[in-house]
Amino acid sequence: MSPNPSPEQNSTDFHAPRKPVLDGDTLEVLHNQHPERIRLSGIDCPEKGQAYGQKAKQAASALAFGKHVTVQTHGHDKYKRFLGDVILPDGTNLNQELAKQGWCASPFVTRILLEYIFIS
């Protein structure tokens, strides 16, 4: 998940989220004056009502709310939300930062944990 899109990625510039983050891995942004839901790809944060769901939402909000972001889209999910990586103005990949801070699961984090458990 590089902040720089590869040629096969469709990097689309979206404006700042117009509402608070919906949950830790879903946010809404304005694109051509229309709200678009973005599902952060490669991570899975707890949902509202689950343990740490509100904290994950607050972490995502603290990082992204009200900022001009770049969304590198990777298609749509079954709910017709854009799947993508969200790049913050300072170049930070929101998806990676949430995983790094421990607010969500990701294949990378899961692999590291399994290696630690079974190799240690």
Residues labelled as active-site residues = 39, 47, 81
The answer to whether 25 touches 42, Cβ cutoff 8 Å, is no
What lies within 8 Å, CB to CB, of 73 at 6+ separation is: 9, 10, 11, 12, 82, 83, 84
Could you give the 3-state DSSP secondary structure of residue 104? coil
